[in-house]
Amino acid sequence: MSLITLRLLLISISLFFPETFCYRQLVSDLTEIRQSSTYENNVASRAIDGGSGFSMSSGSCSHTGVGQSEAWLRIDLKKVYSINTIEILYRNDRGSDLVNTQRLHGYSLQYYDNEWKECYRDSTPDNVPIPMQSTVPCRQHTQYIRIYTYTPSPNDQYVFLEICEVKILGCDVHQYGKNCTHCSRGCNKCDIVNGCVKCKPRFSGENCESCTAKWYNEDCFQKCSDNCPNDETCNEVKGNCPGRCLPGYRGAICEQKCSGGMYGFKCMNTCDTCVNMSCDHITGSCDHGCTEGWTGDLCVEECSNGTYGFQCKNTCDTCVNMSCDHVNGSCDVGCIDGWTGEMCGKVCPEGHYGHNCSGQCQNCENETCNHVSGSCQGLCKEGWGGDKCQEALKTSTVIFPFIYVLNGACGSILVVYIVIIIVVVVR
Ligand SMILES: [Ca+2]
């Protein structure tokens, strides 16, 4: 075949099928075709043999039988397609354009959808030929196409179909456009020409390609976690929240509460000063109060002002300056006078008193003294006096115990009187 011949062939084809090379030719080797009756050997399959002849003598045209009141040519595409247009090439060997197609006048194109439905009916006047370069729209989803007529031509008693070639152009279902582009996953109605014209629920975007805000996964069927940051949607595939979860939550989709004594932003805080480490996963407020030595809403404040222990109910008032460990109450700088022990909760041992119980009250008559001041609880031992019985009394007072009894100025006068009597007696 010469280059010129090939070029002429291509021009010829393009004239007959101006949109043939747009969309896909859906007729394939799998396609089955039948007709209502057959004239001689002009079988139905000739209408989809791809031949270029348009005369009956070419052996590439179908022809229904004589004596029929209706005629049809039915094409089974073997699966449902999205149809755009159908082209019918009729015989052209009867002398004029009008006569060539007069048996086709009044035909209809039908598609099967539980029943045969019409997508096109010819209304060309009887005196006007049907143009074979035109394409007929039949935008339906179907597996079956039928060319049907029950209208005899003015020159015939019966009806005939004499179709040389049929081309069905379209795409697979859920495709559109001349290149059969896939409509998006979110498309509920994929128009063969215009693409997606209706979204599935929870899909949005120009081509229904995205999940509506706050929804995710393949079918946009799952709702983003409420624990994603406010006013932000999640990853529409996996549901991951952008950035960080709200305080108190963790996990890829922020679905898990903080646990194990953790709370707050990123579950980074520990409520280890709560009883049993049990706290609100968001705020950290303790469920059952604070452990010993802690107070406040979050139990992060130490007991103060000389208090310690559970609920800060204990007071360390026997510690110097009431300064003690907020948990166990042990004094920071020792005990006040008269007290001893790790917690300064014991008075000084009997016979001891004062700072660090270092004072000894050994001259008290019954060996006991005030544990703070050291003052004796009763009388001093003989020969001792003063508040703490630590002052040794003078000898004269031993000789004249009554002076001791009387004490004071009156006693001194008596001594002087006795001395004068002794001097007088000696002389
Ligand atoms: Ca043919």
Domain ranges (residues) in the chain: 3-173, 348-393, 397-427
d(CA 88, ligand 1 centre) in Å: 10
Nearest to 279 by CA among 295, 259, 265, 294: 259
d(CA 82, ligand 1 centre) in Å: 23
Instruction: Summarize the confidence of residues 373-379 as an average pLDDT.
Output: 84
d(CA 41, ligand 1 centre) in Å: 13
So what's the pLDDT on residue 390?
Answer: 79
d(CA 51, ligand 1 centre) in Å: 4
d(CA 313, ligand 1 centre) in Å: 104
277-329 tens-digit pLDDT = 999 999 999 999 999 999 998 899 999 999 999 999 999 999 999 999 999 99
d(CA 129, ligand 1 centre) in Å: 21
- Ion ligand 1: residues, Cβ under 5 Å: 46, 49, 51, 60, 164-165
d(CA 257, ligand 1 centre) in Å: 71
Instruction: Summarize the confidence of residues 78-107 as an average pLDDT.
Output: 95
Give one DSSP letter per residue of 321-366, joined into a string: GG-B-TTT--BSS-BPTTEESTTS-EEPPTTEESGGG-EE-TTBTT
* Residue 151 main-chain phi, psi, to 5 deg: -105, 110
Neighbours of 371 (CB within 10 A): 22
* Residue 191 main-chain phi, psi, to 5 deg: -75, 135
Q: Place 421 in a pLDDT band, splitting at 50, 70 and 90.
A: low
d(CA 54, ligand 1 centre) in Å: 7
d(CA 338, ligand 1 centre) in Å: 125
Query: Residue 135 has which token pair?
Result: 């394409």
So what's the pLDDT on residue 427?
Answer: 52
d(CA 50, ligand 1 centre) in Å: 5
Residue 33 CA to residue 45 CA, distance in Å, equals: 6
- Comparing 4-18, 45-59, 76-90, 207-221, the range with the smallest average pLDDT is 4-18
Distances, alpha carbon 124 to alpha carbons 96, 108, 283, 363, in Å: 16, 12, 80, 144
What SS3 state is found at 96?
coil
pLDDT at 350 exceeding the cut of 80: yes
Burial code (b: 16+ CB inside 10 Å, e: under 16) for 131-145 equals ebeebeebebebebb
d(CA 166, ligand 1 centre) in Å: 8
d(CA 22, ligand 1 centre) in Å: 20
Instruction: Summarize the confidence of residues 5-9 as an average pLDDT.
Output: 43
Instruction: Summarize the confidence of residues 65-87 as an average pLDDT.
Output: 97
d(CA 58, ligand 1 centre) in Å: 9
pLDDT at 232 exceeding the cut of 80: no
Q: C-alpha 126: how far from its chain's center?
A: 68
What SS3 state is found at 312?
helix
| Residue 269 and residue 261 in contact, taking contact as beta carbons nearer than 8 Å | no
d(CA 282, ligand 1 centre) in Å: 77
In CATH terms, the superfamily for domain 3-173 is Galactose-binding domain-like (2.60.120.260)
Number of residues that this document lists for the chain: 427
Residue 57 CA to residue 360 CA, distance in Å, equals: 145
d(CA 336, ligand 1 centre) in Å: 120
What SS3 state is found at 269?
strand
d(CA 74, ligand 1 centre) in Å: 15
Residues 6+ apart with CB under 8 A from 15: 133
* Rounded percentage of the chain residues whose pLDDT exceeds 90: 66
